[in-house]
A and B are shown apart, each in its own frame.
Chain A
Amino acid sequence: MCNPANHLMPQPARITHIQSDTSDTKTFRVVDAHGNIPFPHRPGQCAMLGVPGVGEAMFSIASSPTNTACFEFSIKAVGQLTYHLHAMQPDDALTIRGPFGRPFPVDTVLRGQDLLFVAGGIGIAPLRSVIRYVLDKRNDYGRVDIVYGARSAADLVYLDEIKTEWMDAPNVHIHLTIDRTEIGWDGHVGFVPAYIKELYDIHAPAKRTALICGPPVMIKYSLQALLELGFAKHQIYTTLEMRMKCGIGQCGRCNVGHKMVCIDGPVFRCDELEELPDEY
């Protein structure tokens, strides 16, 4: 048996379901050897998925802790391990270890707040954990706005789920956007940061928190847009991505200044990032 205190030691896991989201992203349901969730987690935390002989990499746990049946990971194929995962089938074996990182403060700071989610591309994955959590505990939070953009309609991860589940939830407002016009798309066209500013009802009341995740440029300009709309930096959370190996602050790989993203992050409040070098 693996040593529970040894964070480098993975445990066996199994894929139960694979859904193709976009041309390069699939969502995997994963359970442990006994068919249960591998370990408890909080929204925003990550896990190391591995295939022995292929590689191991960090992924956001895209499911909410309220889903006690399995973990979900939305994974974009970019390299050795992720291409291998994309070629796998339900019932195939993996390894998993975690959870890693500091989560979003869903049960403290975010409780009772109006929430504005700002996501670009695969950046929706870590936010989805929070979104699902909030939808499952709908009365604990105020108004929810989700601004989500991708290159094209086909690149919007979870589009079916958004249409069938998120849009119908009470007091949840979905704002989708794609980079360029395309046939069959009657929604908004344009980049996320500009879209945020266009949305007349997104302003910054005292009890509102924004959560941003996406490519670094999108994060940068969305942050600017939110500041212009009157958000204070401490009202904005984001997540950082650095290459990771250990997940426990020891292999020295993921630091931004003196912070280790694997344990001090990946979730950061924007005012915390101010004193760090912008090396991410």
Chain B
Amino acid sequence: MQLFDAIAKVMPLFVPLEDERGVYFAQWEPGATPLQSVALNASDFAPRKTALSPKGFFLPMVEHLYSSHFSQTKHGGTWQITPAATPNAPFAVLGVRSCDAAGLELLDEVFLAESIDIPYQARRTAAHIITVPCTKRCATCFCDVFGIDPTQPGGDVTLHFDNDTQRMPDDPNRQITDDMLRLQAHTPKGEALLKIQANKLIHSTENQILQTDSSSSESIGENHFNEAANNSTKTFHPPVNQKAASILADFEARFFGGDNPVITGTDATALFHSPAWDTLYLTCVACGTCAFLCPTCQCYDINNETAHCHRHWDTCLNASFTQMAHGNPRPTKKERFRQRFMHKLVYFRQRYGALASNQYSCVGCGRCVEFCPAGINPVDVARELYAVHAATSPSEATHV
């Protein structure tokens, strides 16, 4: 894979690799072949996404923030704080899907808007996101419900397969080769990445750099590319998840729309007090798997209990999350479960709705659907909430 090798020579490149656990992002070793060891396997490339979202490249699971060193002074002593180095070394992540690319945009609203998270910002700036369009739907995903187009994943560069993608699923042993890949830049950073490659790659690979969004006049093989792109969007667009779409549309209409929405303005207390919560949470075992896998879950903890201050992923499903000396405002699993889904379906929208392209804190990646041991997911929660509240005002419940 000269293409991968060329990028990996310039900066660390992470691609979806398959091992016995499943498909995870891992660093590309120049010279490796993608067949079997890489999830970019002809047979399962299109539908496979990584078990973990790329969130961890920007908000690592565990991150060193600073170290403190005590030194004696004439006043007794002082703490010397040594911040972790700002992570601004360039890197590339290849294989990001539409859902996860959209998830990063939602995290941007949290980490780059009201206040800036410095390490997150540094990593976002340093990262080259190479997306791949989906041509087949996973069993559990529903991104298009949120207006996310699985065939147009954005990012800095999109990696398309040649216009022959249709053949792929039938040929499990077909190896991915360089000549099948087509690159399309969307941002100046993406264009720069393609230029680096053009210089470093052998002549034949240059032809892969087909078109950039902004400088089409200079691009090579533009027509060929457009054909490929059109083919992939027209012919291979996976069907919308109709079931999820109609549930979310009902939810949207009943809670936010119409003459008599359950949520009025910024007042969501009626939904907060919904009797639906009394039973919805019962099967949840509070394992936190959903939040761990979720590309849009932002919560973290800061641990100062050693001289090396770390932050790490946390979740509102943890009983200790809001524990205080005088008590816990979310004392049982019911309140904690409600918090997670109120945040996904309502609070995020209330707080960031005007900024974010997606109104929900969910991009329909389907990971929680797939891995929750209790089979809980945001669409079912939305459906149950709707079922309870549709009855409270039948005229509102009709939806086309």
Which residue of B has the minimal Cβ distance to A14?
Answer: B75
Q: Tell me the complex Cα distance, A50–B65, Å.
A: 14
Q: Tell me the complex Cα distance, A95–B68, Å.
A: 9
Nearest CB of B to A246, in Å: 7
Q: Is B31 an interface residue, CB under 8 A from the partner? A: no
- The majority secondary structure among interface residues of chain A is loop
Which residue of A has the minimal Cβ distance to B59?
Answer: A250
Q: Is A258 an interface residue, CB under 8 A from the partner? A: yes
**B118 and A5 within 8 A (CB):** yes
**A251 and B314 within 8 A (CB):** yes
**B304 and A252 within 8 A (CB):** no
**A52 and B309 within 8 A (CB):** yes
Q: Is B79 an interface residue, CB under 8 A from the partner? A: yes
Q: Tell me the complex Cα distance, A14–B77, Å.
A: 8
Name the one of B81, B306, B335 contacting A53, with C-beta atoms under 8 angstroms: B306
Q: Is A174 an interface residue, CB under 8 A from the partner? A: no
Name the one of B118, B267, B269, B304 contacting A3, with C-beta atoms under 8 angstroms: B118
Which residue of B has the minimal Cβ distance to A260?
Answer: B351
Q: A93-B76, A258-B346 are contacts. A275–B265 as well, Cβ < 8 Å?
A: yes
Q: Tell me the complex Cα distance, A79–B306, Å.
A: 17
Nearest CB of A to B262, in Å: 13
Q: Is B110 an interface residue, CB under 8 A from the partner? A: yes
Q: A257-B350, A258-B350, A279-B329 are contacts. A250–B117 as well, Cβ < 8 Å?
A: yes
Nearest CB of B to A139, in Å: 36
Which B residues touch A95, using CB under 8 A? 68, 79, 81
Name the one of A79, A92, A260 contacting B76, with C-beta atoms under 8 angstroms: A92
Which residue of A has the minimal Cβ distance to B74?
Answer: A91
Chain A contact-residue range equals 35 or more
Instruction: Please report B residues at the A interface, Cβ cutoff 8 Å.
Output: 65-66, 68, 70, 75-81, 83, 110-111, 114-118, 265-269, 272-273, 298-302, 304-307, 309, 311, 314, 316, 321-326, 329-330, 335, 339, 342-343, 346-348, 350-351
Instruction: Please report A residues at the B interface, Cβ cutoff 8 Å.
Output: 2-3, 5-12, 14, 33, 50-56, 76, 78-80, 91-95, 215-216, 241-243, 245-246, 248-258, 260, 263, 274-277, 279-280
Nearest CB of B to A76, in Å: 8
5 interchain residue pairs of minimum CB distance: A52-B68, A91-B76, A78-B325, A252-B299, A258-B350
Q: Tell me the complex Cα distance, A256–B272, Å.
A: 11
**A10 and B305 within 8 A (CB):** no
**B347 and A255 within 8 A (CB):** yes
Name the one of A8, A52, A91, A216 contacting B75, with C-beta atoms under 8 angstroms: A91
Nearest CB of A to B249, in Å: 22
**B116 and A2 within 8 A (CB):** no
Name the one of B81, B266, B324 contacting A275, with C-beta atoms under 8 angstroms: B266
**A3 and B83 within 8 A (CB):** yes
The listed residue with most B CB atoms (<10 A of its CB), out of A14, A76, A216, A254, is A14
Which B residues touch A91, using CB under 8 A? 75-77
**A242 and B77 within 8 A (CB):** no
Name the one of A14, A241, A245, A248 contacting B115, with C-beta atoms under 8 angstroms: A248
**B302 and A245 within 8 A (CB):** yes
Which A residues touch B117, using CB under 8 A? 8, 248, 250
**A251 and B299 within 8 A (CB):** yes
**A258 and B298 within 8 A (CB):** no
Q: A53-B304, A249-B114, A251-B314 are contacts. A12–B322 as well, Cβ < 8 Å?
A: no
Q: Tell me the complex Cα distance, A78–B327, Å.
A: 12
Please name 5 further chain A to chain B contacts, defined as beta carbons within 8 Å, in addition to the given A52-B309, A78-B325, sorted by A numbering.
Answer: A7-B115, A8-B311, A55-B304, A242-B324, A253-B299
Nearest CB of B to A142, in Å: 33
**B79 and A246 within 8 A (CB):** no
Q: Tell me the complex Cα distance, A253–B342, Å.
A: 14
Q: A3-B118, A275-B266, A279-B330 are contacts. A52–B307 as well, Cβ < 8 Å?
A: yes
Which residue of B has the minimal Cβ distance to A264?
Answer: B351
**A5 and B116 within 8 A (CB):** yes
**B115 and A249 within 8 A (CB):** yes
Which A residues touch B267, using CB under 8 A? 274-275
Q: Tell me the complex Cα distance, A241–B329, Å.
A: 10
Which A residues touch B321, using CB under 8 A? 243, 253
**A12 and B325 within 8 A (CB):** no
**B272 and A277 within 8 A (CB):** yes
Nearest CB of A to B13, in Å: 28
14 A–B contacts, CB within 8 A, in A order: A2-B81, A3-B83, A6-B83, A8-B118, A9-B65, A12-B80, A78-B326, A92-B77, A243-B323, A248-B117, A250-B117, A251-B298, A254-B322, A277-B269
